[in-house]
Structure 1
Amino acid sequence: MLPWGFLGLLLALPAAAVEYAALPGGTFTSVLPADGKTAPAQVAPFRLRTELVTNGEFLAFVKGHPAWRRDQVPRILADARYLTQWGAADALGDEALPRQPVTRVSWFAAQAYCESEQARLPSWYEWEFAAAADATRRDARADPAWRESILGWYSRPSSTALPEIGGAANIYGVHDINGLVWEWVDDFNALMVASDSRDQGDPDLLKFCGAGALSMQEKENYAVLMRIAMLSALKAADTTNNMGFRCAKSD
């Protein structure tokens, strides 16, 4: 929960004109069984932002809500790397393009942005449900070629500039849910990981730590398990070079 003194930082701005795709929800097999054993996950129908939040959109949010500027936000809500890729606290500069997904944002900042769209961060099950789809199938996870294409992203250097949003959409009309950035989820700190991982140093390194042990249990879900390990290792104020977000709404 947020400290009471900071609740004002979550005051909503007028809703942005962005597109949300309707997802039907349903029962599906998650890498994290609902009962910790074998029970399938249940996802109610929901809507998911079709695009990741961009630098340009987050800049507009910061200008409208200056408490979330990098030079004003309390460290309890965002670490020292928050939005440091921008040229200034209220300007993108040359290194952050308006259509690139915004990164180096904390969970607190992402949740506040989603509140400005009268939305919220998706749950892990909602994100996993949406991410299981490809362009023609609601669940492509059994396809080795599809899994391999996603794993290819994890082998690319993380030091290169991020592409702009607008990649091919999946069957629901959701873009870039695999292969562009990591994404915050609302319940990130409820996911499983070794108990001491939260006390280690660089969150950017943690994306590669812990996932190996998990992946030995279900090698075919390696990419998803890597996300779980990375998210579980973070604290809500942490930021990383490749962590972005999109928002969701309940139907």
Structure 2
Amino acid sequence: MKTKIFSLFLLCLMFQSYLFAQAKDMVLIEGSRYLPLYGRDSTVVEVKDFKMDVYPVTTKEYLKFVKAFPIWQKSNVIKLFADKSYLSNWKNNLELKDSTNTESPITYISWFAAKAYCECQDKRLPTIDEWEYVAMADETTKDARVKKSYNQQILAWYEAPRSNENSIGQTPKNAWGVFDLHGLVWEWTLDFNSVLITGESRKDVDKDSNLFCGSAAINATDLMNYAAFMRYAIRGSLKAKYSMKNLGFRCVQDIKK
């Protein structure tokens, strides 16, 4: 086990510049302080400047990754890092099903796999605060949460079937220039399990029983924002090895001084 993990680390170092010589488009996100709609005891959080991928990672891009890093292929992945659903929509290690849209977001991906993909590009997964900060923008306004239409559009997507099979970039970009934060898939975050289960304060005794109950929303700053609550609820229910058909990811990068 230790040998495999160390081998993965070495592979990332060796192929970091080679595999992703043509980096995916990123945009600069100017940080600020804001009040999340839910979580962290409703306190103001600060987001520093960072860069974010314009699009979620696609199936085609992830296929290149597993070709270069066989340890993340379907039959080779360490069971500690992915459950049985990992890449379950692929035929085998390097072959997709005939109906697969390679321009759609990669799904059936565990948190460990998503984290490794980003790190092999000298990037990382976004934190919840970073992701929510960018995702609260609509096409014209960087904080559109007060708009009724903003929440209606997101909730309409949650009811849409098989949106994860659509190509990236088909929905309008938001005010930051980022596509598909809403409308295609849920997305992994670096600290996905730190909000509903108040991991920072370790105050919860019964960690799982209230995840999808009304009492779990007691700290919401806007109880009418069900879209935001649903995102936090699904994150709180996940484990790092889980893989789901509507859960993908994108990467971010710290600003290097």
Fold match by TM threshold 0.5: yes
Are residue 22 (structure 1) and residue 24 (structure 2) matched? no
Post-superposition Cα deviations, 1:192-242, rounded to whole Å, max 9, x if no partner, equal 1461369xxxxxxxxxx6165445753322111111111111111111110
CA gap 1:3/1:77 in 2 versus in 1, 3 angstroms: farther
Q: Does 1:145 align with 2:149?
A: yes
Residue in structure 2 matched with residue 162 of structure 1 by the alignment: 165
Structure 1's 219 and 155: CA in aligned 2 closer, same or farther, altered over 3 A?
farther
CA contact 2:35–2:45 (8 Å) conserved in 1: yes
Number of the residue aligned with 2:252? 248
TM-score scaled to structure 1, two decimals?
0.87
2:2 and 2:214 map into 1 onto residues whose CA distance is: 35
Q: Which residue in 1 is equivalent to 2:81?
A: 77
Change (3 A) 1:33 1:51: same
- Bigger shift: 211-220 or 146-155? 211-220
- Structure 1 residues 70, 29: CA separation in 2 closer, same or farther (over 3 Å shift)? same
Structure 1 residue ranges (4+ consecutive) displaced by more than 6 angstroms after TM superposition: none
SS at match of 1:22: strand
What are the residue-to-residue correspondences of 1:49-68 with 2, within 5 Å?
49-68=53-72
Q: In the TM superposition, what are the counterparts of 1:43-54 in structure 2 within 5 Å?
A: 43-54=47-58
Following the alignment from structure 2 to structure 1, what is the Cα–Cα distance between the partners of residues 99 and 84? Answer: 18
- Say yes or no: does 1:6 pair with 2:22: no
Aligned-partner Cα distance in 2 for 1:242–1:230: 11
**Aligned-pair CA distance for 1:157:** 2.9
CA contact (8 A) 2:164 2:245 kept: no
Give the partner amino acid of 1:45: D
* Change beyond 3 A, Cα 1:236–1:41: same
Deviation string, structure 1 residues 94-126 (Cα, Å, up to 9, x no partner): 132210100000000000000121100000000
The letter of the residue matching 2:97 is G
Counterpart check, 1:231 vs 2:204: no
The whole-number CA distance in structure 2 between the counterparts of 1:161 and 1:171 is 23
Q: CA RMSD in A?
A: 2.2
Partner of 1:210: 212
Unmatched 5+ stretches in structure 2? 198-205
Q: Secondary structure of 1:111's match?
A: helix
Aligned residue number for residue 201 of structure 2: none
Structure 2 residue 21 is matched with structure 1 residue 31: no
**1:80-91 maps to which residues of 2 (within 5 A)?**
80-91=84-95
Alpha-carbon separation, structure 2, partners of 1:128 and 1:39: 14
Letter in 1 for 2:173: A
Aligned equivalents of 2:132, 2:186: Cα separation in 1? 12
**Mind listing any 5+ residue stretches in structure 1 that lack a counterpart?**
199-208
Rounded to whole Å, the distance in 2 between the matches of 1:4 and 1:39 is 43
Quickly say closer, same or farther: Cα 1:213–1:95, change in 2 above 3 A: farther
TM-score, normalization by structure 2: 0.85
Q: Deviations 1:130-179 (Å, cap 9, x if unpaired)? A: 00001111100000111111111112235x66211012111111000012
Which amino acid in structure 1 is aligned with residue 92 of structure 2?
Answer: A
Is 236-245 or 91-100 further displaced after alignment? 91-100
| Aligned equivalents of 1:173, 1:161: Cα separation in 2 | 21
The percent identity for this pair of structures is 35
Q: Could you say which structure has the larger radius of gyration?
A: 2
1:184-203 matches, within 5 Å, as 184-193=188-197, 195-196=207-208
